[in-house]
């Protein structure tokens, strides 16, 4: 599951791995225009049978999902929605045991993600750690991701 498609770059990366290993990616994008750009990029990459786009807010779409629990959730959309959307996934049992939740842009938006980070770092259902990196295409800007492993049974 991907929250925030933007131009389809991450959907192509994840989709190409899923094409080799099996699986499907659902990508949720709020903007119809950006979803169309991302869909075109995914089509060009030959991954349309792997990546499915759903247009709308994550808050509107997540409660309607009926898929099996997700093994990977990549969060890269509105920063204020990281925690509320993760909580919807938890409440609806949409996270598989061992699911990796990867939150992007933690480094550059850390001041607005305190609640999210507290949740995944202090919740006994998660083992979480920060991986520093630089902003894509701009090595001089520090950024990073938070990788959290979800466990149905609390540690």
Q: Say what the pLDDT of residue 135 is.
A: 84
Displacement of CA 60 from its chain's centroid (Å): 16
The reply to whether 123 belongs to the active site is no
DSSP 75-115: E-S-GGGHHHHHHHHHHTT-EEEEEEEEE--TTTTGGG-HH
Q: How many CB atoms lie within 10 A of CB 23?
A: 13
Q: Say what the pLDDT of residue 131 is.
A: 96
Out of 2, 29, 76, 85, which one is annotated catalytic? Answer: 76
Residues 69 and 62 sit within 8 Å (Cβ to Cβ): no
The reply to whether 136 belongs to the active site is yes
Coil/strand/helix, residue 145: strand
The reply to whether 76 belongs to the active site is yes
Residue by residue, pLDDT tens for the chain (155 residues) are: 999 999 999 999 999 999 999 999 999 999 999 999 999 999 999 999 999 999 999 999 999 999 999 999 999 999 999 999 999 999 999 999 999 999 999 999 999 999 999 999 999 999 999 999 988 778 888 999 999 999 999 87
Out of 2, 29, 104, 146, which one is annotated catalytic? Answer: 104
Share the mean pLDDT of the chain. 96
Rounded CA separation 144/155 (Å): 25
How far lies 68's CA from each of 59, 114, 150, in Å? 18, 30, 15
Q: Say what the pLDDT of residue 73 is.
A: 98
The reply to whether 87 belongs to the active site is no
Q: Say what the pLDDT of residue 2 is.
A: 98
């Amino acid at each position: 599951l991907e929250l925030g498609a933007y131009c389809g770059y991450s959907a192509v990366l994840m989709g190409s791995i899923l094409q080799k290993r099996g699986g499907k990616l659902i990508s949720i994008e709020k903007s119809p225009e950006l979803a169309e750009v991302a869909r075109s990029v995914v089509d060009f990459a030959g991954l349309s049978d792997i990546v499915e786009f759903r247009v709308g807010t994550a808050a509107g779409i997540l409660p309607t999902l009926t898929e099996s629990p997700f093994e990977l959730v990549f969060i890269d959309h509105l920063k204020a929605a990281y925690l509320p959307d993760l909580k919807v996934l938890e409440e609806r049992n949409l996270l598989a045991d061992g699911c990796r939740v990867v939150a992007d842009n933690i480094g550059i938006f850390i001041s607005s993600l305190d609640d999210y980070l507290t949740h995944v770092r202090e919740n006994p259902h998660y083992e979480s750690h920060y991986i520093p990196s630089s902003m894509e295409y701009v090595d001089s800007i520090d950024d990073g991701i938070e990788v959290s492993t979800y466990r149905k049974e609390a540690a």
